[in-house]
Amino acid sequence: MIGESLKLDEAGKQPSVTGGFRFAWPVAVCVLTALLTVIAFPPFNVAEAAYVFAVPALLWFWRGPSFRQALLVLFTSHFIVWLILIYWLRHVTYPGFVFASALLGLYASVWYLAAWRWLPALRDREWRHRLVVLAGLAGLWVVLEWIRSFFLSGFPWLTLAASQWERPLLLQVAAWTGAYGLSFVFIFFNLALASYFYRMMRFYRQGWRRLAPEFYIALGLLLAVGFGSYRASIAHGQDREAMFRTGIVHPDIPQDIKWDRAHAAEILGILERETLLLTGLEPDLIVWPEAVIPIPLVGRPFSGFWVEGVAREAGVPLLVGSMADESDDPSGDSDWRNAAFLVDPEEGVAPAFYSKRKLVPFGEYIPFHSLWPWMSRIVPIGGNIRPGESDAPLIVQANGREWAAGVLICYEDVFPALARRTVREGADFLAVISNNAWYGKEGMPAQHAAHSVLRAVENRRPVIRSTNRGWSGWIDEYGNVREVMLDRDGSVFYRGGTAFLLHHDPHWANRKSFYTRYGDWFVAASAVLLLLALARERFSR
């Protein structure tokens, strides 16, 4: 029986196992951990797997596997996880795809090795001690997610909270704690559930020793988050006010022709045609994707004249993604920016524009460029792009009033701090413009959209998403997906356009969420829990 196999002998040591059973646990843990982790995230969207994805490994740790075995099994498992989840990255760079998968797998392995170190020592500890250590381990998970947001330029892709992007009921805690709070709740539940199973199996004949109060505390925390979220969304989410009608152009321009000057006229024709088709839906603002104009809007007069002509013919303001070349000498080195511009039908291109703040390493700039200048040839634009510095939103005239549009370009919506700073500067809504044509027609669009859902809830602002190829639509401030552009077959990969009425909860107009005001305080709290657990373990020896 499994319960018997988990019992200790009289000397307090784990009974030995022989034959195939010795290898059954590692294989089962590797397979189950990889499977449950992968299906919890988009595009598989089995969000309930997040409740149990770590339990197989945690139960195995109670048995006391060796360090080498634990490291091999868990790194292999999570290397596979990320190879599957970011398989789309191979379209850009195979070496980068493999390296990113290994690095993300290493982050996970660090956490699992900490659990491997601490869990066996809790076998005979009283429940208060176990509770402190499990909370510390959950705090470590949060700290590692936070480190992922900046270490080696940062890649906080698919944090644990993103698994719940289609479950807005639980997401509302993010308005207080950021998405990190939801990650804490789920990993703490995994830890407490594993502790409960272990004690049930080990002490199945010993009454009170089977009790695992930490599990009931974790369950109560999960229910409290859900109930509190429900009350918040019901109390403030019913009476909504219209903002303006938004049109989205979804041009679906293949990446292999996007920067080919031979196709420039074709691309401009697509943009003009799709924009003018939208005017029949009477939008107040039309949003184009990231860097969609094949000729820079600043530095090349023709493109400015052309886009102003489209805006005049449509009679609607445009929010346009385009490159800007601010170099003084067009024949010399380029001074590129990845930017967003407002184009008014009467006044033309506004002089103030938004420049992307968080650039893609080896895609938009070369880290330590002076060490390998030859690598400029691999950057698609042909040189380093300069990052923007301003968090200020762009002011949009729509439906008879001014609105502050907080622009996020490409994967900037993956970084919580960028959206937060923009909302602190007064943004009424967030506009995420992206390309996504780099990554084929796989799971990347849904994964990317999941982060926009988190940013909407954290900052209590609606989010508009306009992509060249991928997930376009809008999300309300409670994380509900209100509109998504799909063709007749239910696919996001098509050429077209749509218009929808953007609306908001007036309760949050000109107000900021707790997270927007105070930022990543929950990360600091998690670090304190980790330190308390370390201290508890050290002084209890």
Is the pLDDT higher at 273 or at 541?
273
Q: What is the DSSP letter of 468?
A: S
* Residue at token pair 């330029």: 153
On average, the pLDDT of the chain sits at 88
Three-state DSSP at 64 gives: coil
d(CA 413, CA 408): 6
Task: Give the C-alpha separation, 274 to 297, whole Å.
Answer: 19
Confidence at residue 236, expressed as pLDDT on a 0 to 100 scale: 56
Residue 301 makes CB contacts below 8 A (sequence gap 6+) with none
The reply to whether omega before 445 is within 30° of 0 (cis) is: no
495 pLDDT tier (thresholds 50, 70, 90): very high
- Listing DSSP states for 247-298 in one string gives EEEE----HHHHT-GGGHHHHHHHHHHHHHHHGGG--SEEE--TT-SSS-SB
Domains and CATH numbers, the chain: 2-237+521-539 (no CATH), 241-504 (3.60.110.10)
Residue 381 C-alpha from the chain's centroid: 26
Residue-wise pLDDT tens digits, 352-375: 999 999 988 767 776 655 555 555
List, for residues 293-313, the tens digit of each pLDDT value: 988 887 778 888 999 999 999
Query: Could you count the other beta carbons within 10 Å of the beta carbon of residue 153?
Result: 13
The predicted structure's pLDDT at residue 371: 55
pLDDT (tens digit, 9 = 90+) per residue, 425-467?
999 999 999 998 888 888 899 999 999 999 999 999 999 999 9
pLDDT of 347 above 60: yes
Per-residue pLDDT reduced to its tens digit, 156-210? 999 999 999 999 989 999 999 999 999 999 999 999 999 999 988 877 656 556 6
Which of these ranges, 275-279, 304-308, 450-454, 533-537, has the smallest mean pLDDT?
533-537
Band (124; pLDDT cuts 50, 70, 90)? confident
pLDDT category, 11, cuts 50, 70, 90?
Answer: very low
1 band by pLDDT with thresholds 50, 70 and 90: very low
3-state secondary structure of 521: helix
What's the mean pLDDT in 200-227? 81
Q: How confident is the model at residue 329 (pLDDT cuts 50, 70, 90)?
A: low
